[in-house]
Chain A
Amino acid sequence: MAVGKLVNRVDAVAKVTGRAEYTDDFYRPDMLVAKYFRSSIAHGRVKEINVEKARKLPGVEAIFTYEQVPRIKFATAGHPFSMDPDHKDVADRLLLTRNIRFMGDEIAIVVAEDEIVANKALKLIEVSYEEYKPLIHPDDILKQGAREIHQGSSNIVGEHRYECGGKVDDALKGADYVIKGEYVTPMVQHCHIENHISFAYMDDLDRIVIVSSTQIPHIARRIVGEALDIPLSRVRVIKPFMGGGFGNKQDVVLEPMVAFLTLKLDGRAVQINLSREECMTGTRTRHPFHVQVKTGFLKDGTMVARKMDVLSVTGGYASHGHSVAAAGGSKSSFLYPRMAIEYHARTIYANIPVAGAMRAYGSPQVIYALECATEDAARFIGMDPIEFRLKNIVRQGDVAQVTGKEILSCGLSQCLLKGKELIHWDRKKKEYEKYKTGPVRRGLGVACFSYASGTYPVCVEVAGVRLVLNQDGTVHVQVGATEIGQGSDTVVAQMVAETLGFPFENVRVVQAQDTDVSPFDTGAYASRQAYVVSNAVFRAATSLREKILDYACLMTGEKHGKFDIVEENIVSADSGKFVLTMKELAVDSFYHKERGGQLTSEVSHKTTTNAPVFGCTFVDVLVDIPLCKVKINKIVNVHDSGVILNPVQAGGQVHGGVSMGIGAALSEELLIDPETGYIFNNNLLDYKVPTFIDLPEINHEFVETFEPTSGYGNKSLGEPPVITPPPAIRNAVLDATGVSINTLPMSPHKLFALFKKNGLMDPKGKADV
């Protein structure tokens, strides 16, 4: 039994010894280095570019500008290919561009023998621009006659509306109260510690090999083929160990360019290794959202209607475009399923860095607005926020309105009750009553969420796994699912061991994904992997188990059904008595001259369900009014993710998500100059990722349910922990101070302004104590 057990990560030793090889560790002395020449303006057009001086610099191998790249527009979003022509990602990129759409847009690229030369060459490139006023604020972007950032787009990437659970306008009319709120989330960045990096070379005259830090090797292969107009089979993508992605590498950022360069340079190896500064503004970010919410509810606390209007800003290129606002709208809709909901969203271009996928994909923005609004409704009628939520939240057996599917597992009420107990809600509520005035105030907050376990039915959900019995009786596993640090290889090994009956140590997951070899799987995103792969693994392992037992019958002449697998042996099913070792069986299958053959099993499986997951954050804060600082005394996340496959790793996912959520709540924001589109803090010093001392102890708890549509009862967990810390902290600050902070992050300079405005400080900024 390996599922649910405390087993160490299968790659932990490789990582602590420094032997795990990441993309940059495949250094080859002959490898060339490529560096982008980026625009220094946010909106405009290159009038002229002169690269002659740079080209003459010794050590420069080649320079390409927008004039030398294929005129093929391609989409970069890491989605599976869609057979539905109405559901394609927006193809709005060229490899290099003459039209500048954000500061840092890619105009040219220098290839040189090393980075020092490449950087020198960049300084020798001369460029002149025709400049346009950067379109940064939504009002300017959507104004009649505003310049189109992409021709023919009207600056709108996508728009949709859905209504379910009845007519919202009617339901609002029937409500005792209707409240309105507006909530804004800023642009934040993933800040995985390994920056984007890829290199490519050719291993004959036709075939391009790309080694890349990507969440989506199989998708990257297809998109490189599309961008360069070459057959996909001529491209091989290898993903070695990866230093985090969080969605930023669910996008094809560097792969088409390195492939293009090696093609142009006779197959020489060329690497692009982005600097931190480039990575922070030249890859992807989280979409800023402006959300308006109208909530209708009855005197007894029953919510009857919710109307949401979302504006999502995707920056200079579509990337994941409108999918983010769409997913945020549908995945959050499971949370309060017994009311009328209308959701309208628009995604627009802007002359700011490009937004793409980021952990929980639109849900942190939508749930922030939704859970602030829910809190405001509860407070409006003076009802305890937990009671209010318990009354309205989803329960097992409810029907999800957007999908029409019954919710088969849901432990959200238990999550709320558990969290209430862990934070000592009732006791502290009372205790904190005396901390509502004065310089130090205290409060409690809660927020809950719903999310999904994949992308079906919007996208295909396919997972592949191959199992091979080795000569020594152990098993090797190849999966297409991509290990990016979240621990998927380890839980796959646990699942295989569980179903085969093998010891966990005897299952070895092959650690890199390689599109030439790995079974097809679309990659790491949407917290889909453990859920979707579980259905493939269960089938493959069950079939290999059958084959092994059949082979034992063949060897011994016994009848089917006589044997069982226990650890490393075949035993009698009835008596448990030892029959033969797995090694003996394996050796026979490989080397007996007349019978057997290598025992393998391979399954490619499509999952056509998508289990909702749930959870909540509870937080206890102290607000220092004179310092305008929020201190978290205690934070607890409680999750229903179905069966927990590996408690320590699952805890680790929660810690990481909560810490990212705390960063988004209190300190993280890419600061954009509203005039020029310049980003003031494109580095890890000025952009405030939480450090060790910035974070409190992060507590977590699981309410385990069993999800019947999953191979092992498990549901998603990777992204969800990031969702609710910001609204929970906002609600706690509101509880402590009476001030609603409806834009993130709740940084001191924002609190200073709001505390002044609300009379907590005098106009000179002195705390009114």
Chain B
Amino acid sequence: MTSHGFREITFSINGKEKKLHIDVRKSLLEVLREQLGLTSVKQGCAVGECGACSVLVDDVLIDSCIFLAVWAHGKKVRTVEGEAKNRKLSKVQQAYVDEGAVQCGFCTPGFIMATTSFVEKHKGEKKTREEIRKDHAGNLCRCTGYQNILKAVEKCINSDLVK
């Protein structure tokens, strides 16, 4: 299906099947933003340093700026646009709002995907603050000092424990 550096890929994006004709040189970040208008996926460095572009591919957290769009073929991609449903925020989103974990908000979509993958992966487990810190260390935030983000993540983990 290759023609002049273009290729057709099929993948699931936020639960919907999508077929796209893409430039093989483009990153997943570029394709999500430019071709699908999924602008929650932010670019802070374009080389895998900041995590602002974090999305889930088959439920694994990746930096979409250094993930070629062609690699998403046949996979399941999730961005923050798919997390709020029926005018209701996801548990993670709500915790970020309630704990004051959002300031400028530029790192927020990436962080929310990081936390989402973390709480899904560790559902029902107890997690220490150190484990939370380590797991989120690939996402940079310059505004919050991570304090309220930590609280938001703890809140999500704990609410799972109660259930």
Contacts and interface: CB of A to CB of B under 8 A. Distances in A.
Contacts of A651: 100, 147-148
A193 B98 contact: no
B82 to A, nearest CB: 9
Interface of A: 8-9, 11-22, 24-25, 27, 29, 116, 190-195, 241-244, 246, 275-276, 484-487, 648-649, 651-652, 655-660, 683-685, 689-693, 695, 697-698
A246 B104 CA distance: 11
Given A11-B105, A243-B44, A485-B106, 7 more contacts: A27-B34, A29-B34, A194-B104, A241-B104, A652-B147, A655-B144, A656-B142
Contact of A27 (B39, B79, B97, B138): B39
A70 to B, nearest CB: 32
A659 B107 CA distance: 16
24 contacts: A9-B97, A12-B102, A13-B89, A16-B84, A16-B108, A16-B112, A18-B109, A19-B40, A24-B33, A192-B142, A193-B44, A193-B141, A194-B44, A244-B143, A485-B103, A652-B103, A652-B143, A656-B103, A656-B144, A656-B145, A683-B47, A685-B47, A689-B140, A692-B133
A497 B61 CA distance: 41
- Most chain A beta-carbon contacts within 10 A, residue among B42, B89, B138: B42
Contacts of A657: 145
A246 B38 CA distance: 27
Contacts of A692: 132-134, 136-137, 139, 146, 149-150
**Main SS of the interface on chain A?**
loop
Contacts of A17: 40, 80-81, 83-84, 89, 93
A184 B65 CA distance: 38
B56 interface: no
Interface of B: 25, 33-34, 37-47, 49-50, 52, 79-81, 83-84, 89, 93, 96-100, 102-109, 112, 130, 132-134, 136-150
B50 A16 contact: no
A116 B146 contact: no
Nearest to B98: A8
B144 A652 contact: yes
Given A17-B80, A24-B43, A659 B145 contact: yes
A9 B96 CA distance: 11
A684 B46 CA distance: 11
A20 to B, nearest CB: 6
B137 A655 contact: no
- Most chain A beta-carbon contacts within 10 A, residue among B42, B98, B146: B146
A483 B35 CA distance: 29
A11 to B, nearest CB: 7
B143 A656 contact: yes
Given A276-B49, A684-B45, A652 B112 contact: no
Given A16-B89, A27-B34, A693-B137, A193 B142 contact: yes
Given A276-B45, A656-B144, A243 B34 contact: no
- Most chain B beta-carbon contacts within 10 A, residue among A24, A649, A684, A698: A684
Contacts of B84: 16-17
Contacts of B102: 9, 11-12, 15-16
B45 to A, nearest CB: 4
Given A17-B80, A193-B42, A193-B44, A684 B147 contact: no
A86 B26 CA distance: 52
B133 A693 contact: yes
Given A9-B100, A656-B103, A18 B145 contact: no
A16 B116 CA distance: 12
Q: Closest 9 A-B residue pairs measured CB to CB? A: A18-B40, A485-B104, A243-B106, A15-B105, A659-B145, A655-B145, A648-B100, A684-B49, A25-B39
A13 B99 CA distance: 12
Contact of A276 (B39, B46, B93, B98): B46
A8 B97 contact: yes
A487 B143 CA distance: 11
A20 B141 CA distance: 17
Contacts of B83: 17
A231 to B, nearest CB: 33
- Most chain A beta-carbon contacts within 10 A, residue among B40, B104, B143, B149: B104
A156 B49 CA distance: 37
Contacts of B150: 692
Contact of B148 (A192, A244, A655): A655
